[in-house]
Structure 1
Amino acid sequence: MDISSYARVAVNVPAISREFDYLIPEEFQGKISAGSLVEVPFNNRLLQGVVTRLVNIPEVVDVKPIISLVDPFPVLTARQLQLAGFLSETTMAPLCQCIDLMIPPGLSSQADTLVELIDGNESLDGLGQTEVRLMKQLIERGNLRLRQLEAAIPHVPLQGSIRKLQQAGKIKTRSILLPPRVKPKLIRTASLAHPIDSISNLKLAGQKAEKTQLRRQMALEFLSNEALPVDVTWIYAASGCTLADLVALQEMNLIVLHETEIWRDPLKNVIPLDQAKPVLTSDQKTAWETISHTLQQVNTGVKTRPMLLQGITGSGKTELYMRAVEDTIMARRQAIVLVPEISLTPLAVQRFLSRFPGQVGLIHSRLSPGERYDTWRRARAGMLPVIIGPRSALFTPLENIGLIVIDECHDDSYYQSDVLPMYSTQQAALKYAEICQCALLLGSATPDVTQLYEVHRGVWQHLTLPRRVGVYGNKTFLTSARGEVVQSEQSGFPSDDAGQSGLPHVEIVDMREELKAGTRSMFSRPLQEGLQKVLEAGEQAILFLNRRGTATYVFCFDCGHSLRCPRCEIPLTLHTTQDGLVCHHCGYKRQMPKSCPNCGSSRIKAFGTGTERVEAELKNLFPTARILRWDSESTQGKDSHEIILDHFTAHHADFLIGTQMVSKGHDFPLVTLVGILLAETGLNLPDYRAPERTFQLITQVAGRAGRGERGGRVLLQTYMPQHYAIQAASRHDLNAFYEVDIKERYRLQYPPFIRLARLLFQDMREKNCQEQAEKIRAAIAHKIEIENMGASSVGGALPCFFSRQGGYYRYQVLLRSPDPVRVLEGIPLENCRVQIDPPDLL
């Protein structure tokens, strides 16, 4: 056997952590390589897997052959395989789950079991309740996959009942592997079979009906003007012919019908901006010199340090990103540009399309499987040198990456914490940049404390944009949410440093004083006056609230009972648009009761503030105002973000009420006032990053004001005006916040001075959950003691802040260690989810 006779494969089963060797059959010799997607036998099942490398000598003697090659080209590059290995090692997740991050949805598949009814044995006599339900499903619907049965009979273990039915001879089972759910999209096209000089004089033999002959001649005339095969629907529209007509013409050897692949491109209807390349300000020029030099170094193979671009809101960071991408493309390399939210993607795409038409690909979870698959394939084929999207875009199979950009790098959405593998996009990008020998550029107005600490240690380069880029000379640009120029006045382009404007003035409103003065509204007197002036001036305002719904909670004024989710035990939130109470953790819903379920009192009231409640009170205060609400409830549709953004930018609304989404990098030139309600929300949460998040949110939201030539102001309502996060945010003073917060973290030994691992336990029985957590905590403590890991420590097994969710009790164990993975190695962790460097402790 030669060196390519065996392949090491990571099978797509999360419970299996190791890899297995398989024989490469003769028909696949030279076609299978590292990164190939294959089907393999595994015990009595068929599984899908990815080849991690080719080997000369297998680890075992009895080696089974690979059954088939799913895709003719590798689905992972060699560098992606290295990254998947790194993620598996550092997140303690199975390798197959890390690989799955890099394969588009619908291409990879897991094995399933087909359950088949044996003819003549449909009797239900003597069967248990679950077996009867299973049999009825099979009788009514025919053979079903196990996953289909589990969906039809939820929350009931089925394996035991299936075994009983097998033993009774009523059913049989076999392992199956479903084919990929996505495939290339083919359309029927037509072209002339050979050149025809004079269509009008052509006599179509055997044509009796004059209308039929006319239709077919018109189709031929249409095709005679087309150099390439044409979609038959165009021919139908131009000539009135049908498929039967085209088939007849093909039988007469006049045309050829083809099946032609078309790309499903989510950007096909996006109109690029028509914007000239601006002149850089002096701040931008200084930062660009460092970026340009770093790009030159990586393109010559020199190892470089990551770059942190700290630029205040509106300072022109995106222009530097685009110039960096431009230089990368000129060096014949590719670039990945990450944004934290899908809502930011359309704006970023339009800006980049204006500079790089036809070269930009979009990746995110709201694309259809076909759109995502085609964009992935075009990137793999080298057709798209620029990829834009949220964290998943990092795993696009580009062959020669020269630049990775992480915009708004402080954002917690860059950490995947809902499913395995739980990973940090920043840590993944740092490693990927090292593997690809490419430049890494991180940008934010409010980088987090650990990122700034890397700068202070000299590990990262530090670039700053301390001033805004505002009105350019005598020319003012107003752009829509999608980036189109909707208004421009006068002419001229900027000279250096022209038109820079400062950040908006922030005024702290002490709500304790407002209460003393008799104000009972959620809107302080200064905010009400400011909103009135905005309306009179024909301007716009944003009202930010880090809440959803109309009320924080609903409770009884007589007995104090609050309505809580029966599965999560957190307060239910009132939503008038949904006519009821909703749990924001598991989605549980119920009607608003007319009386207290505890004491029967009718004095059950909603208390607190939410976006719907803000909207209702605004309408009372300003009946003529046009109001938009932007939160997760109002953005369920595929294009809902863009619709809301365009609506507000086109001044079809005066006030925009929003949650965290409005804090992202949006440009609203007519917004001259931002009101921040309950600025201290979250400060008292039991999380060491609570002050940091509060500072970042306030600073980012404040940055939405004054981005046009009219300037702006921010009114920050709070009951904690002296808190250092509030004070620093009101002055836009990141350094002041950092100096206080870094000392607190050192005193309490939190990151960046130590690393954390959070072990999460869930069980429907609290006692079981606690016992599992205690058992693992004891094992960790024992290992720390016997291996003398004095720099590591483990906390108690304690309920999470959100102690119950979706019917499951939640406990956590917190490990502090310079190397938490080393401490956890060898400890059985099957019953818990491990977060290394978690974004929060809630």
Structure 2
Amino acid sequence: MFTSPKYIDVILPLPLKGTFTYCTDEDDLLVGQRVVVQFGARKLYTAIVKRIHDKKPVEYQAKPLLAILDEAPIVNVVQLEFWDWIAKYYMCNLGDVMSAALPSSLKLASESQVIIHPDFDGDMGELKSDEVLLLNALSHQDELSISAISKLIDIKSVFSLINDLIRREVVQIKEDLRDKYKTKTLSIIYYIASYKKLENTKLTDKQQGLVTAYLKMQQNNPSKKWTVAQVLDKTGFSRAIFTALVNKEIFEIKREEISRLVQSQQEIIPDKQLADFQQKALVEIETSFAEKEVCLLHGITSSGKTEVYIKLIEQQLKKGKQVLYLLPEIALTTQIIKRLQKHFANKVGITHSHLNNAERVEVWKAVQENNDKKVQYPIMLGARSSLFLPFSNLGLIIVDEEHDPSFKQHQPAPRYHARDAAIYLANLHKAKVLLGSATPCVESYYNAKIGKYALVEMHTRYQGIAPPKIQTIDIRKAHLKKQMKYQFSPEILTSIEQTLSAGKQVILFQNRRGYSPVLSCGTCAYTPNCNSCDVSLTYHKWNNHLKCHYCGYTEKLPEVCPSCSANDFEDKGFGTEQIEESLRALLPEYITKRMDYDTTRGKNAHQMIITDFEQGRIDILVGTQMVTKGLDFDNVALVGILNADSMLHFPDFRAYERAFQLMMQVAGRAGRKGAQGKVLVQTYDQENKMFRLLKANDYASFIDQQIEERKLFNYPPYNRLIGITLKHKNQRKLDVAADGLASLLRKSFGNRVLGPEYPAISRIRNYYHKNVLLKIEQEGSVVEAKNILQTIVGRMQEHPDFKAVRFILDVDPV
């Protein structure tokens, strides 16, 4: 046991290196608990205890710990070890990792504003004197910062007091007002009248009718709790009639706390019998896990990978283990969520960016929960951030669509890759990892081929359906012969009409939203550009606005050209909005909808579009890469890719890999049930060798070809990459800093340093960008290279000329 006083190292949710030491005489302190500490002259923060020891800091006087917020740790030891690895591997601060990992509601800081909870009834009878003092102050001032409350109430544990009031819904943090979700309580109806009371109470016919209707509802569903709104909706009676019955003490209304986490209403279905090739894959995966920690499941589109995942999840649940199912974009995977809930009901938890702060806290607690009577989630379905949940007994991590670049975090730090981080997290839990994809990334496929990962393949579609037939269309010839109608060649237009006439549906893919990416004056060639970025403004016709897709700047479309006053604007190129308009002109008798960022901003907008398409209320679905992810439609017979070349011509060594993956994925939406599907690809470059492999569905040959090219030019998987981006508002200062950094790096790394170079978009939000790329051989010491890089960057940041320059380090950029 430690002698008094003892010291604790804490992690603060700030972009600062390492931990900070505080002193305390608390005996019941545990690693992983939240504590309140003072940092700086006036600010208080919630910190996480990382280590408890008896070593006094040498360089500074340790400040005292102010309060302990939790009875039990909210972060476990394995999580802290995982945070350490993320910070070291991805070259970021431990505070950045804490900020990314914890829900906002668990990170109170003294800048937060406290207000009276809108549901507080004003009853202060049970409140303590300090709590009454705070409520009186808030009744005179609408809001108070936590630092102001600290001055008002002279106690050490002001955070504990506020947390307790938040829990009892007396006050709330102001940010909670931005949440657009239902509150935690519902008005539940209880029938309280005895038979004698009912006999002796005079009721009108309508009041008697409502009582009879309610009793019948209760008889049919004895365990169900009915809300006021539900009863009035089902019975058709008015609120005035119901209020009269409450006043006559026939009914009683109680406000009852409910979980914010939506419980599944799906009907449990019996397990499906796996096809022979699926059963073979399942056995191979199970066998591989005896020898290797990671297995890559390469199954073509519609081969039934999800059914194999379900069998593996069942095995883990029988062992009492937890399962993490990672998806690239959780908001777009409604169908997978429903399928898992049909098998596992309320054992499946979901976390994503559409949850509010309070819901995220409840998910966090449900993952931690060991009490069977409370909400528990042994299966968590989530996007990349779900890696940070407090798992204690993880048995399996499934990374579905493992090739997807959405698994990489770009802004802000930590810039981690969820697939790679999942492998390390599984190693900490002694769990297994299954990577699944129809189009695995080059690095994963290479690791499987050299024996680092196990490889299991499924080359057959479920129920023996043939893969879609892929054809290319040379639109160069169609343009020369003036056969194009809007964005469509004669072949694709004819196929669309034939498909729709047969009662089937069509998906059209164009990886660009908006109406037109460029608008220019036909007289003087003036092009509207963003004021803050070096990029043209995209035209959105639905609101007649020009918008920058990098910083969000918006302006109205000018009536005349600002340069020459001509009224002659022409659009160059096309996006999903223009395609939707063209189809409505060409095929007005069919329903066309689009699915892109602009049409799926609402909480359930994507789900409504998917449901409408599933149920046949939409004939043609036009979309960006959203339509390639996690969608399984029975009635789609034709997929059209309207501009394949736009995906190929990027100055990026991964451009062909991403284009091939996207086209194969969107092609896989066709012909998933019944007859063979058809895929038409419009291109100006029909002879490109990539299209030959695409038509043959030969992904293995494409990967082999990519691996050879990367070996020749020293790119992954043969080399590791670290990207360094420098940002500054003054272009000249940025040039000096970038040249200086590259010069220092070359002294240590020689020709392994590429750049500095401006990216394709060199200015965003008034900051100029310049990139330097560092290549490190696989057999070289990556740790040593990172140490050298951090030393050089640290030295430059200390230089007075470069203090305003931002240095962004990105390990394994994608």
> In which range does the TM-score fall when normalised by the shorter chain?
0.7 to 0.9
SS at 2:47 equivalent: strand
| Residue equivalent to 1:515 | 479
| Residue equivalent to 1:71 | 70
Query: Are 2:15 and 2:95, in contact at CA under 8 Å, matched by a contact in 1?
Result: no
Task: Please give the alpha-carbon distance, in whole angstroms, between the structure 1 residues aligned to 2:90 and 2:230.
Answer: 55
SS at 2:92 equivalent: coil
User: Counterpart amino acid of 1:386?
Assistant: I
Establish whether residue 836 from structure 1 lines up as the match of residue 811 from structure 2: yes
Task: Please give the alpha-carbon distance, in whole angstroms, between the structure 1 residues aligned to 2:464 and 2:647.
Answer: 34
Task: Please give the alpha-carbon distance, in whole angstroms, between the structure 2 residues aligned to 1:182 and 1:418.
Answer: 31
Deviation at 1:360? 0.8
Deviations 1:440-459 (A, max 9, x none): 00100001111111112110
Q: 1:702 aligns with which of 646, 654, 667?
A: 667
Deviation at 1:699? 0.4
Q: CA RMSD in A?
A: 3.7
- The worse-fitting range, judged by mean Cα deviation, of 540-549 and 587-596 is 587-596
| Aligned counterparts, 1:452-467, within 5 A | 452-467=445-460
| Residue equivalent to 1:483 | none
Q: 1:417 aligns with which of 401, 406, 410?
A: 410
Task: Please give the alpha-carbon distance, in whole angstroms, between the structure 2 residues aligned to 1:13 and 1:408.
Answer: 31
SS at 1:289 equivalent: helix
| Aligned counterparts, 1:471-510, within 5 A | 499-510=463-474
SS at 1:47 equivalent: strand
Task: Please give the alpha-carbon distance, in whole angstroms, between the structure 2 residues aligned to 1:614 and 1:235.
Answer: 43
Task: Please give the alpha-carbon distance, in whole angstroms, between the structure 2 residues aligned to 1:593 and 1:639.
Answer: 34
Deviation at 1:414? 0.2
Deviation at 1:182? 7.4
User: Counterpart amino acid of 2:774?
Assistant: L
User: Counterpart amino acid of 2:756?
Assistant: A
Task: Please give the alpha-carbon distance, in whole angstroms, between the structure 1 residues aligned to 2:590 and 2:229.
Answer: 47
Deviations 1:608-627 (A, max 9, x none): 11111111111222121110
TM-score by length of 2: 0.82
Query: Are 1:551 and 1:609, in contact at CA under 8 Å, matched by a contact in 2?
Result: yes
User: Counterpart amino acid of 1:666?
Assistant: L
| Residue equivalent to 2:52 | 54
Deviation at 1:558? 3.1
| Residue equivalent to 1:362 | 350
Query: Are 1:3 and 1:55, in contact at CA under 8 Å, matched by a contact in 2?
Result: no
Query: Are 2:727 and 2:768, in contact at CA under 8 Å, matched by a contact in 1?
Result: yes
| Residue equivalent to 2:737 | 772
Query: Are 2:528 and 2:537, in contact at CA under 8 Å, matched by a contact in 1?
Result: yes
Task: Please give the alpha-carbon distance, in whole angstroms, between the structure 1 residues aligned to 2:360 and 2:34.
Answer: 18
| Residue equivalent to 1:809 | 768
SS at 2:507 equivalent: strand
Deviation at 1:70? 2.4
SS at 1:351 equivalent: helix
Query: Are 1:453 and 1:752, in contact at CA under 8 Å, matched by a contact in 2?
Result: yes
Deviation at 1:200? 4.6
SS at 1:711 equivalent: coil
| Residue equivalent to 2:695 | 730
Task: Please give the alpha-carbon distance, in whole angstroms, between the structure 2 residues aligned to 1:418 and 1:20.
Answer: 25
Deviations 1:754-785 (A, max 9, x none): 11111122222222332332333233233x1x
| Aligned counterparts, 1:15-164, within 5 A | 15-26=15-26, 29-30=27-28, 32-44=29-41, 45-60=43-58, 62-112=61-111
User: Counterpart amino acid of 2:295?
Assistant: M
| Residue equivalent to 1:793 | 752
Deviations 1:344-403 (A, max 9, x none): 332222111111122111100101222222122111114210000111122221210000
Cα distance, 1:321–1:182 mapped onto 2, change above 3 Å = farther
Q: 2:274 aligns with which of 265, 272, 280?
A: 280
Query: Are 1:46 and 1:176, in contact at CA under 8 Å, matched by a contact in 2?
Result: no
SS at 1:416 equivalent: coil
| Residue equivalent to 1:616 | 581
| Aligned counterparts, 1:330-409, within 5 A | 330-382=318-370, 383-409=376-402
Cα distance, 1:457–1:350 mapped onto 2, change above 3 Å = same
Task: Please give the alpha-carbon distance, in whole angstroms, between the structure 2 residues aligned to 1:502 and 1:227.
Answer: 50
Deviation at 1:13? 4.5
Task: Please give the alpha-carbon distance, in whole angstroms, between the structure 1 residues aligned to 2:713 and 2:447.
Answer: 19
Query: Are 2:613 and 2:621, in contact at CA under 8 Å, matched by a contact in 1?
Result: yes
User: Counterpart amino acid of 1:347?
Assistant: Q
| Aligned counterparts, 1:144-293, within 5 A | 183=167, 187=185, 199-200=194-195, 240=242, 261-266=257-262, 268=263, 270-273=264-267, 275-293=269-287
Task: Please give the alpha-carbon distance, in whole angstroms, between the structure 1 residues aligned to 2:2 and 2:146.
Answer: 41
Deviations 1:567-610 (A, max 9, x none): 11212111111212111111111222233323333332111111
Task: Please give the alpha-carbon distance, in whole angstroms, between the structure 2 residues aligned to 1:527 and 1:229.
Answer: 53
Task: Please give the alpha-carbon distance, in whole angstroms, between the structure 1 residues aligned to 2:541 and 2:197.
Answer: 70
SS at 1:694 equivalent: helix
SS at 1:593 equivalent: coil
- Give unmatched runs, 5+ long, in structure 1: 116-139, 149-174, 250-254, 298-302, 470-498
Query: Are 2:15 and 2:94, in contact at CA under 8 Å, matched by a contact in 1?
Result: no
Task: Please give the alpha-carbon distance, in whole angstroms, between the structure 2 residues aligned to 1:51 and 1:747.
Answer: 48
Q: 1:312 aligns with which of 296, 300, 314?
A: 300
Deviation at 1:147? 13
| Residue equivalent to 1:587 | 552
Cα distance, 1:720–1:822 mapped onto 2, change above 3 Å = farther
Query: Are 1:191 and 1:229, in contact at CA under 8 Å, matched by a contact in 2?
Result: no
Cα distance, 1:242–1:54 mapped onto 2, change above 3 Å = farther
Q: Compare the two structures and name the one with the higher helix fraction.
A: 2
Query: Are 1:548 and 1:631, in contact at CA under 8 Å, matched by a contact in 2?
Result: yes
Cα distance, 1:515–1:200 mapped onto 2, change above 3 Å = closer
Query: Are 2:333 and 2:629, in contact at CA under 8 Å, matched by a contact in 1?
Result: no
Establish whether residue 627 from structure 1 lines up as the match of residue 602 from structure 2: no
How many aligned residue pairs are there? 725
Task: Please give the alpha-carbon distance, in whole angstroms, between the structure 2 residues aligned to 1:562 and 1:828.
Answer: 39
User: Counterpart amino acid of 1:53?
Assistant: R
| Residue equivalent to 1:480 | none
| Residue equivalent to 2:645 | 680
User: Counterpart amino acid of 1:699?
Assistant: M
Cα distance, 1:392–1:513 mapped onto 2, change above 3 Å = same
| Aligned counterparts, 1:585-664, within 5 A | 585-664=550-629
- Give unmatched runs, 5+ long, in structure 2: 115-139, 149-156, 169-182, 236-240, 371-375, 798-805
User: Counterpart amino acid of 1:447?
Assistant: P
Cα distance, 1:452–1:46 mapped onto 2, change above 3 Å = same
Identity among equivalent pairs (%): 30
Q: 1:781 aligns with which of 746, 757, 765?
A: 746
Query: Are 1:6 and 1:21, in contact at CA under 8 Å, matched by a contact in 2?
Result: no
Task: Please give the alpha-carbon distance, in whole angstroms, between the structure 1 residues aligned to 2:224 and 2:473.
Answer: 67
SS at 1:606 equivalent: strand
User: Counterpart amino acid of 1:74?
Assistant: P
SS at 1:797 equivalent: strand
Task: Please give the alpha-carbon distance, in whole angstroms, between the structure 2 residues aligned to 1:699 and 1:321.
Answer: 21
| Aligned counterparts, 1:710-749, within 5 A | 710-749=675-714
Deviation at 1:462? 0.4
Query: Are 2:326 and 2:382, in contact at CA under 8 Å, matched by a contact in 1?
Result: yes
Deviation at 1:105? 2.6
SS at 1:692 equivalent: helix
Query: Are 2:754 and 2:773, in contact at CA under 8 Å, matched by a contact in 1?
Result: yes
SS at 2:8 equivalent: strand
Deviation at 1:404? 0.4
| Residue equivalent to 1:2 | 2
User: Counterpart amino acid of 2:275?
Assistant: T
